[in-house]
């Protein structure tokens, strides 16, 4: 599944808390990643990754769902 979140806005350099600075800071994308990592949803999601440039790049995520067990 492809989720388009948008890139967000440029992150301020003064933010010393982030040890891994990013060019863009997307609140929606970070919220979705946090939501995916919740224990209630982990059993449904196999993995996720940033989309390639042709699918939205930093502004999109691919989420791979687990197959339903019958």
The predicted model scores a pTM of 0.67
- Count of structural domains within the chain: 1
pLDDT category, 10, cuts 50, 70, 90? low
Q: Is residue 37 part of a domain?
A: yes
Q: Is residue 50 part of a domain?
A: yes
**What is the residue range of 55's domain?**
2-11+22-65
Q: Is residue 41 part of a domain?
A: yes
Q: Give the tens place of pLDDT for each residue, 31-46.
A: 899 999 998 888 899 9
**20-29, 34-43, 46-55 — which is least confidently predicted?**
20-29
28 within a domain of the structure (yes/no):
yes
**Residue 16 included in any domain:** no
Query: Does residue 31 belong to any structural domain of this protein?
Result: yes
DSSP 33-45: HHHHTSHHHHTTE
At residue 29 the predicted structure's pLDDT band, cuts being 50, 70 and 90, is confident
Q: Which residue matches tokens 């967000």?
A: 8
CB 61 within 8 A of CB 1: no
Residue 6 has pLDDT above 80, yes or no: yes
Phi-psi region of 60 (alpha: psi -120 to 50; beta: other; left: phi over 0): beta
Q: Is residue 56 part of a domain?
A: yes
């Amino acid at each position: 599944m492809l989720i388009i979140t948008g890139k967000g806005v440029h992150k301020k350099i003064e933010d010393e808390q982030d040890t891994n600075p990013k060019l863009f800071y997307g609140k929606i994308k970070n919220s979705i990643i946090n939501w995916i990592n919740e224990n209630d949803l982990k059993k449904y999601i196999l993995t996720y990754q940033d989309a390639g440039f042709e699918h939205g790049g930093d502004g999109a995520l691919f989420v791979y769902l687990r197959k339903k067990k019958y």
